[in-house]
Amino acid sequence: MHTDTHLFTPDYDVADLDYAAALRADSQPLDQSVRDQAAHWVQRVRDNASDEGPVASLLQEYNLSSEEGVALLCIAECILRIPDSATVDSLLQSKLSGLDWRAHSGRAESWFVNASTAALLVTGKIVTPNPKGAWNSLVQRVGEPVVRVMVRKAVAVLGGQFVYGRDIKAALKSAKKEICSFDMLGEAAMTDADAQRYLRSYHDALDALCTQPDQPLHQKQGLSIKLSALHPRFNPHQKDRLDVELYPRVQGLVIKAAQHNVPLCIDAEETERLLLQLDVLAKLAHDPAITPSWEGLGLAIQAYHKGAQQTVDFVADLARDSGRRLLPRLVKGAYWDAEVKRAQTLGLDSYPVFTRKADTDLNYLICARKMMEARAVMHPCFATHNALTVAAIAALGSDGYEFQRLHGMGESLYAIAKPKVGVRVYAPVGPHRDLLAYLVRRLLENGANSSFVHQIADDDIPVGAICQDPLNDTSRAMHAPHDLFGARTNSLGFDLDRAPHLARVQAAKVPAVTTVDTSASEARAALDRAHGAFGSWNEAGFETRSQILLAAADLLESHTAEAMQLLADEGGRVLADGLSEVREAVDFLRYYAMQAATMGAVKVLPGPTGEDNHYWVEGKGVFLAIAPWNFPLAIFLGQVSAALVSGNTVLAKPAEATPRTGLWAVGLLHQAGVPHDVLQCLPGEGPVIGDALLGDSRIAGVAFTGSTATAKRINIQLAQRDGPIATLIAETGGINAMVVDSSALPEQVTRDVIAGAFQSAGQRCSALRVLCLQEDIADAQIEMLTGAMQELRIGQASDPATDVGPMIDAKAAGGIRQYLSAIDANGAQRLAETPLGVFGDDPRYVAPQMWRLADNAMPDREVFGPVLHIVTYQSNQLQATIERINDLGFALTAGIHTRSDLRQAQFARSIHAGNVYVNRNQIGAVVGSQPFGGHGLSGTGPKAGGPLYLTRFIQERTQSTDTTAAGGNAALMAGG
Ligand code: NAD
């Protein structure tokens, strides 16, 4: 094995079940003595329940499946950062009302749990309208300010328990009897300023740790660092920057730790960052500037990864190659929910992590055995609170390693087990305001209920069940990540952060397509053919057409990489955008195919005896599908496939800027079995084709997506023609807003605003245009956004490192620049701008930027580019702000970031928007999950990718037959 990360390919793509089977084959059953030992410890921990630490008792009392437990942690997550009373009150009211705090009162053995419960019991009842009025009179007596103070106090107590010390000095003071690895963390760095701040806090911590008396390494307090805290862009596509900017920061810390013989561990992160971590570790291990005899360099390895065993081998080989003894820490894994969600969101065919807890436990033991065997070159640290794991490891050896546990957890287990080796405590250090939020969120994300800490304290679970050999576990693995939608296969994706996946995309060629603009007479001739083809296509039936769409979906899916190249080449779509667009197109094809399959059946309707009633649907005739350039594949194919599967013939007009994509997609549909006259592609100028066709009464309907102005023009042209009234489905623009109150987490807001406003260079109809910030937090939020905007990378669409590519053409970019000059002349203030660098000379590029209009005004039109407007509001003006947004007349997407359920509900109820997003970004609607489309000036509906879309493409028929004339109702006559 090599320690070159280019040659390191973890087993992530091995199918989940295959991997689990291999794992079982590699595992040995646990000895009876190990299981007996663990069972004995578990029983003793239970017998001494009152000795359990406060954090464990709290988790036990408020287990995360109880509403009270979740409410308590949600309050703890945010209350300390909220500056204003109105937001605190809204939060408390929404989290505490209606919950049963009394059920938890006095039940736990820990004073701390009872004290917290008492505070919440009082406050919970205060805000709960109580029919008997007793508590209402209490709230009148003590008043809201007292309630706020009490809850803050309760959370501060909670913070004191979760957090080891507010700073390193306090932490060192409390660590007199324990050996710790201090974790100085809050959130991941979003800006360079954040990264510099974290770097300083790591240095400060090390300076304090360096003053420890000279002792053997394993008796010294150590530090854990997170690489994503030291650089705001710790992701694989920014490797060139990381080599230059991140490595020296880490190196400086490690040199210091080595000089003073302080252990330093690189903490675990998400899968896509593993190779970057190994790369840094390999450089450090070989770095001659780092004291060669120092043996304190560590890396956390997560056993829930399919790549964990290979990572252990990598670290052992690295230690051998570099001649440096290493200090790796084996953990179960900290990002399980996030890993599973990411794999599902990307539509991957396997998970990088195990989905059965027992598999992780098995892998942990295999990794542990490997590490114990490599003790000549490493000193393994085993972080676990699982009695069975502790017993199994203790049976492997009695020296040359150490155990680790989290602060507040596993205390009594280790006190009882008394292992022969040391037990180090992983201890979070930092101000409660930042750290508590982070720790609590991780707890909520990782649902602590299935964890050993939780089970050990739950007397209802028999000791034997807890100490069962994981080899005997029979629980089922989770369905594959792309199997989300039951019978409808989810579109398959790539993980562009993984080299083998990216290589497949980069190896694909842009398909060669040549297009010629369609003339008016050619368009009319196409209409003749489409009209002629309607009858037989409509007769072919829903089932046949649905099968053709499914075949087209498979065909497109097998050409995903080429389609991405075409989208980058013609439409300037960066690779990630291209990938999600191809997947959306595949989803549309399958979604409409599945719907059509059930829609086509003739339905028998009830009626009086002697009468047969039938209902069925069929196509309307010829549809004209007109698509925009910003989703030249997904929207184009969505319109076309919905019209086709319903029985219509289609004239498909791609946008002027993206004819090749349209023609290529039509070619795929022909290949899948759609006859050529049934679907014809008409690239060319919109008005030329529109004028040629819209006045013709044989056009039964138009499916249009584009600007509001064009939709109006088409509507008028259709209205003015003779003949039947045509169907018009128009999806148009929006001025989309997001509201952020003071309970929101600034880092999450930053991530979502940057994606919403600047992904695809702001050229999405759903993109965020107006960010409405509560005044109390506006300055800090703007500062963080400004910092994050400096980190965005401008580049070519086909370069995987690019965050923001070009605009569709120089004309569109020029339009944005004109708008900016106009608002500038009107007194608007530019708050921030991403540097364009070498792309400043290219007229197609516009820098992502953030503006505040004069007088805190809203923009008066849709600005279709990377321009974000900031508006501020006072905390009591939420409703007024919603109304200001509604007054714009559009109703496409809207978002809110708040921890208050009441405000979420108020927003969703009163904002005018087809798609509302809470605590997330507002782009990237998924077919069948977030049916997409607006109303008002934003469109007619029905929503694309939703249950009613096809209904606009069909006409309904019924037939009612009097059967008495033909012998009547035989059954009735026979019965009567
Ligand atoms: P656009 O209105 O300029 O063009 C859209 C399509 O209409 C193009 O194919 C164009 O050739 C065609 N067209 C133009 N004039 C025509 C005419 N007289 N007759 C027939 N066809 C004509 O819009 P665009 O600039 O391509 O797209 C950006 C706009 O689309 C933005 O306003 C955006 O918000 C909107 N959009 C909306 C959605 C949605 O789902 N609501 C999705 C994507 C884009």
Query: In angstroms, what CA-CA distances link 488 with 95, 324, 673?
Result: 37, 52, 21
Residue 713 Cβ inside 6 Å of ligand 1? The answer reads yes
Average pLDDT over residues 160-172: 89
Task: Encode pLDDT of 85-139 as tens digits.
Answer: 999 989 988 887 766 666 665 555 555 555 555 555 555 444 444 434 433 444 4
Residue 714 Cβ inside 6 Å of ligand 1? The answer reads yes
What's the one-letter identity of residue 379?
H
Q: Over 80: is that where the pLDDT of 66 sits?
A: no
Q: What's the pLDDT at 675?
A: 98
pLDDT band at 778 (very low <50, low <70, confident <90, very high): very high
Residue the block writes with tokens 């990002």: 335
Best mutation site among 588, 626, 715 for ligand 1 pocket (most ligand atoms within 8 Å of CB): 626
Tokens of 160: 């004191």
Q: What's the pLDDT at 135?
A: 35
Average pLDDT over residues 236-240: 95
Q: Over 50: is that where the pLDDT of 222 sits?
A: yes
Distance 274 CA to ligand 1 centre (A): 43
Q: What's the pLDDT at 277?
A: 97
Residue 765 Cβ inside 6 Å of ligand 1? The answer reads yes
Distance 706 CA to ligand 1 centre (A): 2
Average pLDDT over residues 463-477: 89
Average pLDDT over residues 239-260: 97
Rounded to whole angstroms, the Cα distance separating 46 from 63 reads 17
Q: What's the pLDDT at 976?
A: 40
CA-proximal residue: ligand 1, atom 18 (nearest): 687
Percent of the chain with pLDDT over 90: 77
Residue 627 Cβ inside 6 Å of ligand 1? The answer reads yes
φ, ψ of residue 204 in degrees (nearest 5)? -60, -45
Please give the number of the atom of ligand 1 that sits closest to the Cα of 653. 9
Q: Over 90: is that where the pLDDT of 216 sits?
A: yes
Task: Encode pLDDT of 638-651 as tens digits.
Answer: 999 999 999 999 99
pLDDT band at 945 (very low <50, low <70, confident <90, very high): very high
Distance 732 CA to ligand 1 centre (A): 7
Tokens of 593: 């195919």
Q: What's the pLDDT at 142?
A: 56
Domains and CATH numbers, the chain: 5-61+163-456+463-472 (3.20.20.220), 517-732+951-957 (3.40.605.10), 744-936 (3.40.309.10)
Residue 946 Cβ inside 6 Å of ligand 1? The answer reads no
Contact in structure between 777 and 740 (CB atoms under 8 Å): yes
Rounded to whole angstroms, the Cα distance separating 253 from 284 reads 11
Residue the block writes with tokens 């069925």: 616
Contact in structure between 885 and 737 (CB atoms under 8 Å): yes
Query: By three-state DSSP, how is residue 672 classified?
Result: coil
Please give the number of the atom of ligand 1 that sits closest to the Cα of 628. 26
Query: By three-state DSSP, how is residue 185 classified?
Result: coil
User: 731 catalytic, yes or no?
Assistant: yes
Q: What's the pLDDT at 678?
A: 98
Range from 116-120, 205-209, 261-265, 731-735 carrying the lowest mean pLDDT: 116-120
CA-proximal residue: ligand 1, atom 17 (nearest): 687
Task: Encode pLDDT of 829-881 as tens digits.
Answer: 999 999 999 999 999 999 999 999 999 999 999 999 999 999 999 999 999 99
Q: What's the pLDDT at 63?
A: 62
Q: Over 70: is that where the pLDDT of 388 sits?
A: yes
Phi-psi region of 458 (alpha: psi -120 to 50; beta: other; left: phi over 0): beta
Q: Which of 731, 747, 791, 862 is catalytic?
A: 731
> Which helix (H) or strand (E) covers residue 155, if one does?
helix 134-162
Q: What's the pLDDT at 480?
A: 87
Task: Encode pLDDT of 706-736 as tens digits.
Answer: 999 999 999 999 999 999 999 999 999 999 9
Q: What's the pLDDT at 947?
A: 97
Output the CA torsion 690→691→694→699 (10° steps): -80
Contact in structure between 505 and 561 (CB atoms under 8 Å): yes
Which pTM value belongs to this model?
0.94
Rounded to whole angstroms, the Cα distance separating 704 from 66 reads 48
Neighbours of 909 (CB within 10 A): 9
Distance 682 CA to ligand 1 centre (A): 15
Higher-confidence position of 150 and 967: 150
Task: Encode pLDDT of 391-443 as tens digits.
Answer: 999 999 999 999 999 888 888 899 999 999 999 999 999 988 888 888 777 66
Q: Over 90: is that where the pLDDT of 2 sits?
A: no
Mean pLDDT for all residues in the chain = 91
Q: Over 90: is that where the pLDDT of 456 sits?
A: no
Range from 65-79, 83-97, 140-154, 281-295 carrying the lowest mean pLDDT: 140-154
Task: Encode pLDDT of 335-372 as tens digits.
Answer: 888 999 999 999 998 999 999 989 999 999 999 999 99
Q: Which residues of 62-99 are buried (b: 16+ CB within 10 A; e: fewer)?
A: bbbebebbbbbbbbbbbbbbbebebbbbbbbbbbbbeb
Distance 710 CA to ligand 1 centre (A): 6
Q: What's the pLDDT at 92?
A: 87
Rounded to whole angstroms, the Cα distance separating 41 from 417 reads 7
Distance 947 CA to ligand 1 centre (A): 24
Please give the number of the atom of ligand 1 that sits closest to the Cα of 938. 41
Rounded to whole angstroms, the Cα distance separating 467 from 36 reads 8
Average pLDDT over residues 657-673: 98
Q: Which of 269, 765, 772, 791 is catalytic?
A: 765
Contact in structure between 945 and 932 (CB atoms under 8 Å): yes
pLDDT band at 274 (very low <50, low <70, confident <90, very high): very high
Contact in structure between 579 and 630 (CB atoms under 8 Å): no
Residue 481 Cβ inside 6 Å of ligand 1? The answer reads no
